[in-house]
Structures are given as structure tokens and as C-alpha cells.
Chains A and B, each alone.
Chain A
Amino acid sequence: MTFFEQFPIVIQALNEGFLQTLKLFAVTLIGALPLGLLISLCSISSFKPLRWLTRTVIWMVRGTPLMLQLMVIYFFPGLILNNPIWGSDETGRFWASAVAFIFNYACYFSEIYRGGIEGVPRGQQEAGEVLGMTRSQIFFKVTLLQMIKRVVPPMSNEIITLVKDTSLARIISLQEIIWAGSSFMKGSYGISGQIWPLFFTGLYYLAFSGLLTLLLNRIEKKLSYFHA
């Protein structure tokens, strides 16, 4: 097969893989953004046992490789507990990956949120208090937007990292784009011994992270109407 015959076949396969990458990326964000906020609130809770438990969990999640977490979450129920909750098909692998990614990223996000919350001057909360606002009103009406403004730059970093980290799911054979690209080395769709499809996946990542950068910059700009 000539290169020009291979090309459309490869692109088709990479597109399919990239769709899976995007799905994992989106599901992780949707899950980890709110979960991270919840974890960060637990990690600054005035109830000490909850605070220490949360900080221990954050330490464990941030202190071990995401690749290992993927394998533990995927294999542990089936191999150790004899209760394979994840199906052995692509759907099962996807949800196992999603759980691992959501939890891992929520822990990283929570630390960024915590920094953002703690960075809002104490006087803001006190101003709300003397005006008779409740704790939740102060959080949602006063602190939250200032916190969001503070966390957008560090979050952008994490989100861009997430785009590329999704490739770790290949370790449990999730058929994302790196998996799709490397399949042409062993042989797939009648093409074998080809490494260029793997290298070619880089362009997908570049294009997508470029798009995200533009979007995140826009959010940053939108929030620049006030100083916090």
C-alpha cells in the first residue's frame, strides 16, 4: 500500500481514537471540576477528622502514579475481589479510566481551589458576615467568583496536562488515539510496521490544546473586569 492509500485509513482510525480521548477528557472535567471543589472544602473543614482524612487521601492520590491508579481501579475488583465490576469491553475500560481520572484530577484541582479560596482576603468574608450574610451566601456570592478568577491560570495548566494524560489509559487498553496510532506498528486494517501514524497523533494533541488555550485565555479575559 502506498502512503496515499494508507493515509485515509490511518486518519479514520486516529479520528476514532481521538474521539475516545475527547470523551475521556470531557467526562474527567465534568466530574473532577465539582468533585475537586467538594474535596477542597473538606480539606479546609473545621472538623478535624474530615480534614485529615481528606488530606491523607489527597496525599495518596497525588503521591502515586496515575498509571498505577488506573491499573488498580481496573484490575483490583476482578482479580482481587473476584467481582469484575468493569466489563472487559471498551465501555468497561472507559468507565474504569473515567473513575481513575476523575478522582486523580479532582485531588489536584482541590489543592488549586484551596489555594484560591485561602487567597481571597479574610476581609471579604468579614464584610459579608457583618452584613448578615450566611456562610453559604458568602461562599457563593462573595468568595466563589474571586476564587475562580484566581484559579483560572493554574487550572489552565492542569487542563492542558489532562489532554495529554488521557493517553495513560492505554495501559488498560483503552482505545484512545495513542492506542490507535501504535496499532499500525503491529498491524491493523492491513497496515503494519508503520510508526508514522503514532507520530502523527501529536498533531491532534497540538491542535486541541491550541484550541483549549484560546478558550481558557478568553475566560481569563472575561474575568479581568475586576481585581481580586
Chain B
Amino acid sequence: MSFLEVCDIEKHFGATQVLKNISFSLEQGSALAIIGSSGSGKTTLLRCLNFLETPDQGRIILNGEVLFDAADPAVRKKKEIRKKRLHFGLVFQSFNLFPQYTALKNVTLAKELLARERPDYKANRKEIHKEIEEQARALLCRMGLEDRMMNYPQQLSGGQQQRVSIARALAIEPDILCFDEPTSALDPELTGEVLKVIRELKNTDSTLIVVTHEMQFARDVSDQVLFMADGVIEEMGTPEQVFGHPKSPKTQAFLQKSTEDLHG
């Protein structure tokens, strides 16, 4: 059994079916790129994995543990979900940093709140906070933001904000880190710095799922590519297969179009 197993996910918004029969698996330490045109269901799929949407059907199994099963009402409980979603981290297209906190506090906040649930919190409060802050500083340094820790989001460029939000997602040590079009809201000259950080994560054996419009990046960084069209997985395979020898006419048309756009 693979690290992540997604089985038969279906999702409707009202009468519209946005995800049909989504099944795929992912090995630990590998990177999955999800590509496809707008409205194909990529983002909804990612949101389902992060419990921001509840699938109508299907199962999500991580490391043998059933995180979600539409047939079992017990796993839908709010409290259960809160713990389970910690397996996944999500980096948003629009960063969604907390504007009232510094970069550092953005990274430490969730971890500090989680630490309150530890039985030894009261006794070791000071040490725990120190440890969390050190970890956050290390993460921000890894993102190349050592001199930006005390800045508020508004004082940072888009690329810097996105790197803070990657650090924030990493702070809770998720098993799988998801990116929802992490560079779509950035000026072209700022996408490089964010993509570089994601590439570096790939080299540290993190398990990644990246929804992206950057075809070259998807090709370089991923071990597996998933092309979605109209809510179904139209094609899936290694980057060589999907980009080099696409089988489905829809994939061919999509790739054709994105290369044309690229070369204007």
C-alpha cells in the first residue's frame, strides 16, 4: 500500500459535479504535480485533502490510517477532522498570512496553540515556547528570510509573503505539503524565488502535492503528473509520459495551448 491512497473521491457543488472518480496514490518523499485548466477541479481536490471541502464519496488513507471515509459518519466529526488535517499542510495561492502578526509570529502561532494541549505545557511553558520559536527561526532562515522575521506581511513582497506562508505550513510538520498554485498571484520576476524553495523541499524528501500552471516547473520537480479535465483524472504518469508522450487528446490540446501561451 502506498503512503497516500485516495480512492474514488466525488464532490458536488449543488447539481454540478466537480470531482468524479478521483483515485491516485503517492509514495513518501515523492512529488505530485496536478495540472489542468481552470475549473478542472484541481483546487477542489486539494481542498478535499485538506478538509476544507468534504467529499461526497470516497476515502483518503494515509500511512494505513483512514483519514476520511464518506461512508463512515464518525470520521466527519469536527474534532476528529482537526487532528487529521494536521497530516496535510496547505500553501494558498493568495498566501493568507495573518496581517496582524509578524512573519515570525505567523510561523509560531499555530504551533503555540497546539502546544497548549500538551500535558506538560504548564510545567515547561517557557522551554516549549523557546523551542517553537527556534524552530520557526530555522524555517524562516531556510526560506532565506533571516532579516525579515520581525516584518509584518504588508511590509514584504509577494514572493517573501509566500515563503513565510511555506514556513508557516512547514511549522506544523505535515506529512504531505500541498501547494495551491503558489505562484499564480505573484509578479513573474518573483515566481523564481518561490519555485526555488519548493525545489529545495523536494530535495529534502518532503512529500509534495503541487497544483500549478508552471509546466516547466511541474516537469522538473515532480515524480508523478496528474492531468485533470472536467473533474476527472484524464491522464496520469511520470513527467516523461505525460509531457513527452501524452495519450489523451485533451492532454495534448492542453499542453499544446500552454506551450503556445509560453512562447506567445
Contact = CB atoms under 8 A, between A and B. Distances in A.
A227 B96 CA distance: 12
A11 interface: no
B83 A132 contact: yes
B113 interface: yes
A213 B193 CA distance: 46
A145 B100 contact: yes
Interface stretch (A29-37, A133-141, A181-189, A193-201): A133-141
A133 B113 contact: yes
A227 B151 CA distance: 13
Nearest to B83: A132
B99 A127 contact: no
Interface in B64-95: 82-83, 85-86, 88-90, 92, 94
A130 B50 CA distance: 7
Contacts of A129: 51-52, 85
B52 A131 contact: no
A226 B100 contact: yes
A226 B113 CA distance: 22
B110 interface: yes
Contacts of A145: 100
A137 B109 CA distance: 10
B100 A132 contact: no
Interface stretch (A56-64, A76-84, A92-100, A118-126): A118-126
Contacts, number: 62
Contacts of A141: 109, 113
A149 B99 CA distance: 11
Contacts of A126: 52, 92, 96
Interface in A95-129: 121, 123-124, 126-129
A228 B99 contact: yes
B88 A130 contact: yes
Contact of B99 (A128, A134, A137, A146): A146
Contacts of A225: 152
Given A123-B92, A225-B152, A132 B99 contact: no
Interface string A185-228: 00000000000000000000000000000000000000001111
Given A132-B82, A132-B110, A146-B100, A127 B92 contact: yes
Interface string B27-59: 000000000000000000000001110000000
Nearest to A228: B99
B172 A132 contact: yes
Secondary structure class of chain A's binding surface, majority of residues: helix
A228 B96 contact: no
A141 to B, nearest CB: 7
Contacts of B94: 123
B168 interface: yes
Contacts of B168: 131
B24 interface: no
Specify which of B97, B99, B169 lies most central, judged by the most chain A CB atoms within 10 Å of its CB. B99
A149 B100 CA distance: 10
B154 interface: yes
Contact of B96 (A124, A137, A149): A124
A131 B152 contact: no
Nearest to A127: B96
Contact of A130 (B52, B100, B114, B152): B52
Contacts of A123: 92, 94, 96
Given A123-B92, A126-B92, A141-B109, A131 B99 contact: no
A67 interface: no
A71 interface: no
A126 B93 CA distance: 12
B254 interface: no
B98 interface: yes
B122 to A, nearest CB: 18
A23 B114 CA distance: 43
A132 B86 contact: yes
B85 A130 contact: yes
19 contacts: A123-B94, A126-B52, A126-B96, A127-B92, A127-B97, A129-B52, A129-B85, A130-B50, A130-B52, A130-B85, A130-B89, A133-B110, A134-B113, A226-B99, A226-B152, A226-B153, A226-B154, A228-B99, A228-B100
Interface of A: 121, 123-124, 126-134, 137, 141-142, 145-146, 149, 225-228
Given A133-B110, A134-B113, 5 more contacts: A130-B85, A132-B114, A134-B82, A145-B100, A227-B99
